């Protein structure tokens, strides 16, 4: 695929040509670019990080699409399968479903399971320490009953 793309000579940008540089070349250039893009001679790609537009053009004319065999197309359209049953049908045929093949999906699932936190045993502290600031009251003998 990369061999189909060509870069103009003397341009320092590695990936395509800057849209702004080309659009500033002459008056009405933006309309010409839009016309070429609509004809499929150029492709405009926006960098999601910088929001800058880059122009790409293919090296050669696009290859004609090969028509599908009618028997294959008819076979494809005959069998309809619900998405829920697709994994089960693939397993029945001995094919591992693609959703289980990718390593990153299993890693993502493993990251979702979190270990439960172990509750720390609380240290007991006596909280009903009243009149600690007056120890002389508790050193003498206390009355047995209050009347």
Residue 85 in this model has a pLDDT that exceeds 80: yes
Band of pLDDT at residue 147, cut at 50, 70 and 90: low
Any domain includes 96:
no
Residue 114 in this model has a pLDDT that exceeds 80: no
How many domains does the chain fold into?
1
Any domain includes 9:
yes
The residue range of the domain holding 22 is 2-56
- Taking the C-alpha atoms of residue 110 and residue 100, their distance in angstroms, rounded to an integer, is 13
Any domain includes 6:
yes
Residue 146 in this model has a pLDDT that exceeds 60: yes
Any domain includes 32:
yes
Residue 75, CA distances (Å) to 69, 80, 81, 109, 133 in order = 10, 10, 13, 36, 93
Q: What percentage of the chain has pLDDT greater than the value 90?
A: 2
Any domain includes 12:
yes
């Amino acid at each position: 695929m990369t061999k189909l793309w060509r870069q103009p000579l003397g341009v320092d940008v590695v990936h395509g040509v800057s849209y702004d540089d080309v659009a500033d070349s002459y008056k009405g250039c933006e309309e010409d670019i839009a016309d070429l893009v609509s004809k499929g001679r150029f492709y405009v790609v926006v960098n999601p990080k910088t929001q800058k537009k880059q122009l790409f053009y293919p090296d050669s004319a696009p290859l004609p699409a090969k028509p599908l065999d009618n028997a294959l197309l008819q076979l494809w359209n005959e069998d309809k399968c619900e998405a829920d049953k697709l994994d089960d049908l693939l397993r029945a045929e001995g094919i591992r479903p693609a959703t289980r093949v990718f390593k990153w999906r299993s890693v993502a699932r493993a990251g979702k399971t979190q270990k439960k936190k172990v509750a720390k045993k609380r240290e007991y502290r006596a909280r009903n320490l009243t009149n600690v600031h007056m120890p002389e009251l508790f050193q003498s003998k206390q009355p047995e009953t209050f009347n």
